[in-house]
Structure 1
Amino acid sequence: MEKQSLLQFLANAQRNFIHFIRISIFIVMAWIGGLKALPYEADGIVPFVANSPFMSFFYKHPAPEYQSYKNPEGKTVQKNIDWHISNGTYLFSYGLGTVIVLIGILTFAGIWSAKLGLIGGLLTFGMSLVTLSFLITTPEVYVPNLGGDFVTPHYGFPYLSGAGRLVLKDIIMLAAGLMVASDAAQRLVKPFSNS
């Protein structure tokens, strides 16, 4: 393919790429939202929710009590599960998962419905803002001080842990939500601008 035809293809395919963003958001939301029905995923979000000023009220036990009841991925410890049941961990995760899947569906529906797509895009943006706030509220997003090298310490800000790297990626979802919302808004105002 010649350079000019590649540029022409890319220039003409923007709407298709925006639809691809919608599909991508749907895949991420449906997959991650669906996993919220499983105990290991519900356990995994506890540090984020427990430390969040926007979400901690959903749990019965205050942070950092959860640190004594962490289930390693793939392992089940009954006393930890009992604590999570009493905390409301699983019930909250089911609700959150449902909301996340619905946001994904609304965003995906934006391929056909500008109104639903606008709502989905704005909700994706809002959800990403909340998720990114975990970089401020959740201690586990940074590498802990485990007695590393005194001269060049590699802990705390800006050294992201695995959880922190996962959260930081939501800045892409933030931008994607705005992109699809903007596209939907353009489609909604277009009939009015032609009259």
Structure 2
Amino acid sequence: MFPTLHIAEKTTGSRGSLALLRWALVVIFLWFGCMKFTSYEAMGIAPLMQNSPIMSWIPAVFGVQGASYFIGTAELVTAAALIIGTFNKMASAFGATMSCLVYAVTLTFFLSTPGVAEPTAGGFPAISAGTGQFLLKDLVLLAASACLLLASIRPADA
């Protein structure tokens, strides 16, 4: 009478799916990492860092542009590790761990950055179209990073 339902995801995914996640993350880290070397991007991330209990020390030590260089360098190292990780499990695990850390930290901005909640819609859980939605999408990037990390550390026979 009723069709049998099957859960689609039974493993971490095929190699093709993992490759799609890997290369999407590589593009993001290369692009965003390179952008951090512009004053436009440095000014854009400054308010996020200034309000963060985790990141506020970086512009205090390096200045706004120096902080952007610091983060950009970390993002480019992450991209390089993910690229090398195509052929090396250790590099893959390192790149995926770095990616997880990046997105875990940026998700904390969701709690520390003014303007995430949208007051005209009643405040939290309504989020702003700008800052709130910009930060919330990092949840799926964290999930993609975690999938790569789990696949990198899983034994070959699993």
TM class by shorter chain equals 0.7 to 0.9
> Relative to structure 2, which stretch is displaced further, 155-164 or 122-131?
155-164
Question: Paired residue for 2:127, among 153, 160, 163?
Answer: 160
Q: Does 1:110 align with 2:85?
A: yes
> Whole-Å Cα distance in 1 between the matches of residues 65 and 123 of structure 2?
30
Calculate percent identity across the aligned residue pairs. Answer: 29
What is the identity, as a one-letter code, of the residue corresponding to 1:160?
I
Q: How does 1:36-185 map to 2 (within 5 A)?
A: 36-60=36-60, 88-143=63-118, 145=119, 153-161=120-128, 162-185=130-153
> Whole-Å Cα distance in 2 between the matches of residues 132 and 174 of structure 1?
9
Say whether the 8 Å CA contact 1:47–1:140 is kept in structure 2. Answer: no
Q: Give the gaps of 5 or more residues in structure 2.
A: 1-10
SS in 1 for 2:60: coil
Greater CA radius of gyration, 1 or 2? Answer: 1
Measured after TM superposition, the shift of residue 155 of structure 1 is: 4.8
SS in 2 for 1:164: helix
Show CA shifts across 1:78-114 (max 9, x none): xxxxxxxxx8100110111010111122122221111
TM-score normalised to the size of structure 1? 0.69
SS in 2 for 1:140: coil
Say whether the 8 Å CA contact 2:26–2:82 is kept in structure 1. Answer: yes
> Whole-Å Cα distance in 2 between the matches of residues 56 and 32 of structure 1?
20
RMSD between superposed Cα atoms in Å = 2.2
The count of residues paired between Structure 1 and Structure 2 equals 146
